[in-house]
Amino acid sequence: MQLDEDICLCFHVSKRKVINFIRNQNPSAASQLSQCFGAGTGCGWCRPHLENLYQQLQFDSSSVKGHSAADSVEVSTEQAAENYAALRRNYLKNRSGGSSSHSP
C-alpha cells in the first residue's frame, strides 16, 4: 500500500495521514486513531489494519531511533495492500446481509 492510498475508505484517510498522526500526536492506544479524520469509525473494515499500523509504528519508534518507521511499514504491508479493496467489498457485502447499517 502506497502512503497516499486510503487506509480508511469510508472517510478517505490516507496511510500517510495516519502515520503522521501517530508520529505527531503519539496516541496511547490504537483506538485514538479515530481522532485522525474519523479513521476506523465507519464500516469497521480498516480497524485491524489501523491497529497493525499503530503497533508497528510504536515498536519501530521505541526500538530503532533514526530509522524511518514508514519504510518498514511500507514493506510489511505491501502484500496485504493488493487485496485490500476486494476484501473490503466482501466484508461489506457479508455484513449488509445480516443487518441494516450505513454503507459508505
Q: Evaluate whether 81 touches 1 at the Cβ level (below 8 Å).
A: yes
**Closest among 44, 45, 47, 42 to 32, alpha carbons compared:** 47
Domain boundaries, the chain: 6-98
pLDDT at 30: 93
Is residue 97 scored above 90 in pLDDT? no
Q: Which amino acid is at 22?
A: I
pLDDT, one tens digit per residue, over 36-67 is: 999 999 999 899 999 999 999 987 765 444 44
The answer to whether the pTM exceeds 0.75 is no
Write a three-state SS string for 50-66.
Answer: HHHHHHHHHHHHHHCCC
Is the pLDDT assigned to residue 22 strictly greater than 80?
A: yes
Do 10 and 43 contact (CB within 8 A), yes or no? yes
